Amino acid sequence: MARHHNINGNIVPFTEAEEAEWDANEKAYAEAQANIEPTPVYISQRKSAYPSIGDQLDMLWHSIDQNPKLKSEYFEFYESIKAVKVKHPKNG
């Protein structure tokens, strides 16, 4: 079926060139859609279930805090966060 524009309420049939251009566009679109692999459901399920990035980093810091070897290995990360905690204590 021939395509048309609706311009200000007036129906304007496509030219042959426009028909050819849209045929090619729709063919390319259909091919692209056929090649899309569906995103596995677990990705969105995990994304919404993970703790926030801040909470994850806090858990990481506390794990390092319990282990002198890790404190040394991740010295800069550990100390920079510890400095903030010291400057702004919980009961400060």
Residue numbers of the site for other proteins (CB under 8 A)? 1, 3-11, 14, 22, 25-26, 29-30, 33, 41, 44-45, 47-48
Nearer to other proteins, 5 or 62 (CB): 5
CB of 58 to other proteins, least distance (A): 22
Question: What is the rounded distance in angstroms from the CA atom of residue 59 to the CA atom of residue 88?
Answer: 18
- Please list the helix, strand and coil fractions of the chain in percent, rounded to the nearest 5, in that order: 65, 10, 25
CB of 85 to other proteins, least distance (A): 29
CB of 45 to other proteins, least distance (A): 6
Q: Hey, how many other C-beta atoms are within 10 angstroms of the C-beta on 81?
A: 18
Question: What is the rounded distance in angstroms from the CA atom of residue 91 to the CA atom of residue 12?
Answer: 73
Nearer to other proteins, 34 or 84 (CB): 34
Nearer to other proteins, 25 or 67 (CB): 25
Q: What element of type H or E holds 11? A: strand 10-13
